[in-house]
Amino acid sequence: MTNTVHFGLTPVGRAAAAGLAFAAVLAGTGCSSAPAHRPATVPPSGSRSPSASAAAGSGLPGMPPPLDPRDVYAADRPGRLSPATAGALPYVYVPHTRSGDVYVIDQRTRRVVRRFPAGVEVQHVVPSYDLRTLYATADRSNALLPIDPRTGLPGRPIPVLDPYNLYFTPDGRYAVDVAEAGRALVFYDPHDWRPRHRLDVPGCAGVDHLDYSADGRLAVASCEFAGRMLVVDVPRQRVLRYLRLTRPGGMPQDVKLSPDGRYFYVADMMANGVYQIDGAARRVLRFIPTGRGAHGLYIDRTSTRMFVTNRGEGSITVMQPDSGRISAVWRLPGGGSPDMGGLDAAGTVLWLSGRYDGVVYAIDARNGRLLARIGVGDGPHGLCVWPQPGRYSLGHTGILR
């Protein structure tokens, strides 16, 4: 079954066109470059224990307090779905950078049930902060394509500047458009999708992935083509510093906070491993070799394991995020190119795109056994498994807290 979406956006020189588009929108809305604040609807945060409330006291204002001050992923336990995901179909949404479409896989049958065009160079499928909408990011179309998770069907494209990736501030006030070609983070109102502030980051060539500190006040982003990390003051929406990685010629990719908030982990596909950075993002603590082409990072539903996809050798490294200790390495039979994805709601199946093989892998998250290899389109990238447990989404393919 194919659903047709018509895009009124022509792929042109990304950086120049994106800059013009942003200037035009700002002019049309009378918006200055200073951030404007509009509260978003915050999902239920659950009961506030004294310790959790105290931990949230110094956090980003408006951010839901942690359920457990020792674990930012405490709300992500198996099957703990938010009421906001009621009616969501158990699907996997697979965007494609080359064929420009989204394939939809039924998690139960592991079969493709639908596909639809989504733009030019579709990079990721991202759950919204309130968990009610998914967005396919098509950077060369300068557009987001909303998808209704209750039907698996797309809506009308939303004009957004060069959206390589998409995140949300932990208070839900802003959508953060990662405009890779334009070297910028653009803060949008996630309700009307008007830009509120553009943070230019000329020193962060290839800005692409990020995660937030436990208190929500810092965003740490990878600079793929600069071999360093960008640290952003979230409430002030300004650059605090850059952090140079220790291996020359690196290409940092995915970023993930450890459950206890003590470390940021950064996958580096050219250094073939993962950096461990302190939770304040001031220094690199060590480098941990994992495998060729280290790329994606995923915390399991118990917060005791982190999966590292090694795209260049067809393996997944299983690591303990509290210590960085490696406990196992799983190898795909016959090799492959595991890239990005996530876990199902129960935490038993790890779904990953096979970037250079036109497939999606379904892997038993308990022992690494390959359950299925599902043929899809050309260049599958940041797939989203939905629904997922958690109270709110920080973006990417599903960073829920």
Residue 37 falls inside a structural domain: no
Q: Residue 282, class by beta-carbon neighbours within 10 Å (0-12 exposed, 13-18 middle, 19+ buried)?
A: exposed
In the 8-state DSSP scheme, what is residue 218?
A: E
Residue 397 falls inside a structural domain: no
Residue 49 falls inside a structural domain: no
> Per DSSP, which regions of 247-314 are E strands?
252-257, 263-268, 273-278, 284-289, 294-299, 306-310
For the cut 70, the answer to whether the pLDDT of residue 48 exceeds it is no
Note the pLDDT of residue 376. Answer: 98
Residue pair 323/310 in contact by the 8 Å Cβ criterion: no
Residue pair 78/347 in contact by the 8 Å Cβ criterion: yes
Tens digits of residue pLDDT in 255-304: 999 999 999 999 999 999 999 999 999 999 999 999 999 999 999 999 99
For the cut 80, the answer to whether the pLDDT of residue 1 exceeds it is no
Number of structural domains found in the chain: 1
Q: What is the mean pLDDT of residues 392-396?
A: 98
3-state class (DSSP) for residue 348: coil
For the cut 80, the answer to whether the pLDDT of residue 33 exceeds it is no
Q: Which domain holds residue 160?
A: 15-27+64-386
With cut-offs at 50, 70 and 90, classify the pLDDT of residue 5: very low
Q: How far is CA 276 from CA 2, 131, 282, 320, in A?
A: 43, 30, 11, 12
Say which range, 13-22, 177-186, 337-346, has the weakest mean pLDDT.
Answer: 13-22
Q: What is the mean pLDDT of residues 102-122?
A: 98
Tens digits of residue pLDDT in 318-346: 999 999 999 999 999 999 999 999 999 99
Percent of the chain with pLDDT over 70: 86
Residue 305 falls inside a structural domain: yes
Question: Which residue type occupies 39?
Answer: P
Residue 177 falls inside a structural domain: yes
Residue 345 falls inside a structural domain: yes
Note the pLDDT of residue 58. Answer: 85
Note the pLDDT of residue 20. Answer: 46
Q: What is the mean pLDDT of residues 160-168?
A: 98
Residue 343 falls inside a structural domain: yes
Residue pair 91/106 in contact by the 8 Å Cβ criterion: yes
**Which residues have C-beta within 8 Å of that of residue 325, sequence separation ≥ 6?**
319
Q: What is the mean pLDDT of residues 160-186?
A: 98
Handedness of CA 81, 85, 87, 89 (dihedral sign): negative
In the block, tokens 């140079």 appear at: 244
CATH code of the domain in which 337 resides: 2.130.10.10
Tens digits of residue pLDDT in 59-95: 999 999 999 999 999 999 999 999 999 999 999 999 9
With cut-offs at 50, 70 and 90, classify the pLDDT of residue 12: very low
Q: What is the mean pLDDT of residues 112-121?
A: 98
Q: What is the mean pLDDT of residues 369-377?
A: 98
For the cut 90, the answer to whether the pLDDT of residue 105 exceeds it is yes
For the cut 70, the answer to whether the pLDDT of residue 3 exceeds it is no
Higher-confidence residue of 10 and 193: namely 193
Residue 210 falls inside a structural domain: yes
With cut-offs at 50, 70 and 90, classify the pLDDT of residue 57: low
Note the pLDDT of residue 277. Answer: 98
